[in-house]
Structure 1
Amino acid sequence: MLRLVVPALAGLALSASAALAGGAPCVTCYREAVHPPVYGTYHERVMTRAPRTLTHVIPARYETVTETVVVAPERRVWQVSLDPYGRRIGCWVTIPAQYETRHRQVLVQPEEIVPVAIPARYGHVAHPVLIEPARRAWVPVGRPVYKD
């Protein structure tokens, strides 16, 4: 009688595991698995410094000019003098012109304001982007799974 009981208990154990797997014998079994999210990288060109304009001032340039100017022009004057005998004698006398050398500053080039354009500076920034969110799925039992 013992020989009949052992095969009957083995059949009960198989039917219990089949019942846990959905009531039928498990031909292809699946289990629930969690797949992690998939991320990619998005590269973006960004401005790191805005364009700007600076002004460069070139100062005025002066030079010293030396010139000879007439202080008193040439002239003729009537001059009366006494001769050796005491008589008065009148003559026209030419007095030469008087000159002086003078120095003065002359503007050669006026002050200039030159605009200097500094272009914008650009760089690249990498942003992580979600391509596929995390998900739960049923996978075959023999297949490797990331996380339960």
Structure 2
Amino acid sequence: MKTILTSLVALAIAAPAAFAHVSFEMPHAAEATQKLRVKIPEGVIAVKPMPKPDWSLEIITGPYENSYDYYGTTMNEGVQELIWAGELPDAHFDQFSFRAKLTDMHAVGTTLYFPAVQECATAAERWIEIPAEGQDAHDLEGPAPGLTITAPGNGH
């Protein structure tokens, strides 16, 4: 298994079996009340989000499509979505992080997508589109942040 540590401002993966790095910036809305929702792709397990002082954190769990070995324990269900909600003045930015294990179901060259939605009182930014095979994500209006798995030594 590979370890994944992610932040919604800077996303990085590092492990003995594979390395990858992707960064993405999320525009922010002018209103102070924010809600950020991130969907966790299949094969990313043992997700542990970082709580934020004065923000609520909702962890939505459910069954996995497959079973995974997590250090000798079979995991059939786990985190499916993370939702942070709180106050973020327009003059500031923040990072929303979680740590997880990436199973070996994702081969080198695979891109995992983490659909994310940022909501405020009057607007929403949706980075939820996943490109079709061969399609350039830059051609989409709201591409989901992607993480490409690379071979060891090709990342951090």
Q: Confirm or deny a common fold (TM above 0.5).
A: no
Taking structure 1 as the reference length, what is the TM-score of the superposition?
0.15
Greater relative CO, 1 or 2 (CA 8 Å, sep 6+): 1
Q: Which structure has the bigger radius of gyration?
A: 1
Would you tell me which structure has more helix in proportion to its own residues?
1
Q: Normalised by the size of structure 2, how large is the TM-score?
A: 0.15
Higher relative strand content: 1
